[in-house]
Structure 1
Amino acid sequence: MPYEVDLAVRVEDALDELSAEGRQEVMETIAAALVRPEGWPQPGGWHGALAFGPRSWVWFTAFLGGIQVIDVGWTG
């Protein structure tokens, strides 16, 4: 089943400011979160979840059929 990802505007801006290496890792972290729906918070409401990469993190909420990425970070 294909899932959908929405990126908040601030996430798009943050990705633009990262190095190519940082952007790649954050996108891999988003992809890892997306393919693990068992780790998603309950759709709707204000519940969120964090996913971590080696040097990155992604904060997201869920909706039926996908996730919305609210914030990202990279420590590299």
Structure 2
Amino acid sequence: MHCFFHLVHLHERILDETGIEVSDLEAAHYQAIKAIQELREEGEADDVDWRGWQLEVADASGRVLFSIPLDAAQH
């Protein structure tokens, strides 16, 4: 299944135009957690305010499969 990982905050959306192929929903969740970790490692993580942001995982039709609040995933 092809999944897209969009960053969403209120009326702002940063869309993943490429996406990746995953075997199932569990693999998509693993990749979402990995993507959040990579976001935190880029630059100065302490300078980024993730409150209110979510990582939405959507399928090829655009249906949101699940979302993870980025502020809840902070270390």
TM-score, structure 1 as length reference: 0.36
TM-score, structure 2 as length reference: 0.37
Q: Determine which structure has the larger helix proportion and give its number.
A: 1
